[in-house]
Amino acid sequence: MEGGRVAVVEDDTLLLDQLALALKGRFEVLRASDATRGLALAEQDPDVFLVDLRLPPSNEAREGLDLVAALHQRRPDASIVVMTGEADRRLAQMAVERGAFDVFRKPFDTAELVLVLSRALERRRLLGENRALREEMLRGHSFGGLVGTSPGMRALFAAIEKVAPTDATVLVHGESGTGKELVAEAIHRKSRRGRGAFVIVNSSALPEGLAESELFGHERGAFTGAVAARAGRFELANGGTLFLDEVATLSPAVQAKLLRVLERREFERVGGTKTLSVDIRLIAATNEDLALRAGKGDFREDLYYRLNTVVLTIPPLRERREDLPLLSEHFLGAAAQRYGRQPKSFSPAAFEALRRHPFRGNVRELQHLIEMLTLMVEEDVILPEHLPGTIGAEGPSFSSGAFPEGVSLSDAVARYEKDLLRKAIERSGGVKARAGESLGLDPNQMKYLCRKYRL
């Protein structure tokens, strides 16, 4: 394939002229005589970079190697060809490690150079086609950052479309890592409040004793350390949407004040007497059974019914395994773009190991795994040996006799969850942060679960 745009970076002006003349009529040629100007050519989005290694100001090979790395970071889809007069094979290897597609030695032969550049352009074309196919595949199966074609996800997308235009309070239910925040954001973006603020509050991460101040603000002198008045999250969300994650962890006092806001759209700051009015939409989320909590008296029943106006349930990844190929493609492309790497793919054997994995951390665990593989694996294809040892093992199976007859589903899940946490903490030598990482949990989730089960 010819007719592409080639950026030539060469400090020898005579050789630069010769290269431009040799390529004239076959390619559009951009020229630069040093690394700084060469990097600036990236803004013109060339298809191929032809880079000399020894460039000013040092005229050492590291100048060209650093330029290769910078160009690869800025334009990961572009093909980089290195030309050098060096006989040292290590330099060629280092150039490839930094992102070069090919290396050839001076003095150049015009026919050989055209062949190398044509191959580099063909690679660029294939990468572009692959990216277009990825985008086309995802276009009809994504919704505000959520990806899936399974029946559960299609039902979720339809429910979001229905509820988003209204101001109804929404309760999003789903396990940790399923994407509750993405659901809330999709509702906000598709609502009339889409141009307003979208304020996120992780209730489980609010410091005890300060949760009321964080949510509703405080006046100067309301408590020790309150040296100035401060607006809370409700005020910040005025005119927009407040997303209250892990709502089940709020204290009874905060629950009572939250109920008043939902009923009257007004509150007072901590230490204040002035009543403030707010225009917000509340979206709450939980991974617990709030109806059960309310029935036991662990959560205000009247608040539960206020939150329970519309309930959206996100299926866990284990119940939507048909979405795994689509999710993997989505995260592989996103990770490659984020870290300036070439998009990778899974070998059939590696993907089969992925398919067998229980993914207790749900979609978030898959995303973190793929980001790690994108950063750590040098090859374009991810093989089984690249996967962590925990991937590919069959998930635990439970017989009907694993729990006493008549035990409720929520109690059975809680017992299993507690046992899983306890064993992970034991394996990590008592280091809870490390145990959380092994289970695909972020620090706030681990802290919340340890508090919940008193571990």
DSSP string, 212-238: HHHHH-B-TTSSTT--S-B--HHHHTT
51 forms bridges with which residues in the sheet? Answer: 9, 82
CATH number at residue 126: 3.40.50.2300
Is 392 a member of any domain?
Answer: no
pLDDT at 332: 92
Cα 54 → chain centroid = 38
Shared domain for 89 and 56, answered yes or no, is yes
The predicted model scores a pTM of 0.60
pLDDT band at 400 (very low <50, low <70, confident <90, very high): very low
How many Cα atoms within 13 Å fall on the side-chain side of residue 299?
21
What does the pLDDT read at residue 394?
Answer: 44
Higher pLDDT, 442 or 274: 274
Q: How confident is the model at residue 86, as a pLDDT?
A: 76
Burial class (CB in 10 A: 0-12, 13-18, 19+), 1: middle
* Domain endpoint, select from 75, 110, 138: 138
185 located within any domain: yes
- What pLDDT is recorded for position 142? 58
Cα torsion angle, 17, 20, 25, 29, sign: negative
Which amino acid, one-letter code, is at 450? C
Give the integer Cα–Cα distance in Å for 343 and 80.
Answer: 16
Q: Is 158 exposed, middle or buried (0-12, 13-18, 19+ CB in 10 A)?
A: exposed
DSSP characters for 327-361? HHHHHHHHHHHHHT-PPPEE-HHHHHHHHH---TT
Residues in the chain, overall count:
455
Q: Higher model confidence: residue 177 or residue 439?
A: 177
Q: Which of 138, 164, 187 is the last residue of a domain?
A: 138
pLDDT band at 68 (very low <50, low <70, confident <90, very high): very high
Question: Does 163 lie in the same domain as 245?
Answer: yes
What distance in Å separates the CA atoms of residue 75 and residue 208, rounded to the nearest whole number? Answer: 47
3-state secondary structure of 48: strand
* pLDDT computed for residue 396 by the predictor: 42
**Mean pLDDT rounded to a whole number for the chain:** 85
Residues 271 and 239 in one domain: yes
Helices (H) and strands (E) in the chain, counts: 18, 16
Partners of 52 in beta bridges: 83
Q: Are residues 9 and 128 in the same domain?
A: yes
60 in any annotated domain: yes
Q: Does 204 map to a domain? A: yes
Q: In sequence order, what are the residues at sequence separation of 6 or more whose Cβ sits closer than 8 angstroms to the Cβ of residue 157?
A: 143, 146
Helix, strand, coil share (%) of the chain residues, nearest 5: 50, 15, 35
How many domains does the chain divide into? 4
Q: Among 138, 159, 184, identify where a domain stops.
A: 138
12-40 pLDDT per residue, tens = 889 989 888 888 888 999 999 999 999 99
pLDDT of 259 above 90: yes
pLDDT tens column, 184-229: 999 999 999 999 999 999 998 887 778 888 999 899 888 888 889 8
Q: Is residue 95 part of a domain?
A: yes
Give pLDDT, residue 402.
Answer: 47
Query: Do 220 and 343 sit in the same domain of this protein?
Result: no
Residues 82 and 27 in one domain: yes
> Counting beta carbons within 10 angstroms of the beta carbon of residue 328, is it exposed (0 to 12), middle (13 to 18) or buried (19 or more)?
buried
The single-letter DSSP state of residue 55 is: B
The rounded distance, in Å, linking the Cα atoms of 335 and 338 is 5
**pLDDT band with cut points at 50, 70 and 90 for residue 134:** low
Q: Please measure the distance between the N-terminal and C-terminal CA atoms of the chain and give it in whole angstroms.
A: 63
Residue 67 lies in a domain: yes
Same domain as 163, residue 114 = no
Give the DSSP H or E segment for 90: helix 89-97
Residue 102 lies in a domain: yes
Q: Is 182 in contact with 146 (CB distance < 8 Å)?
A: yes
Residues 301 and 352 in one domain: no
Q: Look at strands 275-277 and 198-202 and give their pairing.
A: unpaired
Strand order in the sheet with 241-245: 198-202, 241-245, 281-286, 170-173, 310-313
Question: Tell me, what's the pLDDT at 448?
Answer: 75
> How does residue 141 score in pLDDT terms, banded at 50, 70 and 90?
low
CATH of the domain at 217: 3.40.50.300
**Domain match, 54 and 172 both:** no
pLDDT band per the 50, 70, 90 thresholds, residue 172 = very high
Average pLDDT over residues 125-136: 66
What 3-state class would DSSP assign to 6?
strand
Instruction: Say if CB 365 and CB 440 are below 8 A apart.
Output: yes
266 φψ region: left (φ > 0), alpha (ψ -120 to 50), beta (else): beta
Tell me: do 129 and 216 sit in the same domain: no
| Residue 49 CA: distances (Å) to CA of 62, 86, 171, 379 | 17, 19, 52, 22
* Least confident span in 164-178, 220-234, 397-411: 397-411
162 with 193, same domain? yes
Domain identity same for 238 and 294: yes
Domain coverage including residue 227: 149-313
The yes-or-no verdict on residue 370 having pLDDT over 80 is yes
Task: Tell me which residue has tokens 């959380």.
Answer: 436
- Tell me, yes or no, whether 154 lies in a domain: yes
What is the CATH classification number for the domain harbouring 365? 1.10.8.60
Of 363, 362, 418, 359, the closest CA to residue 388 belongs to: 359
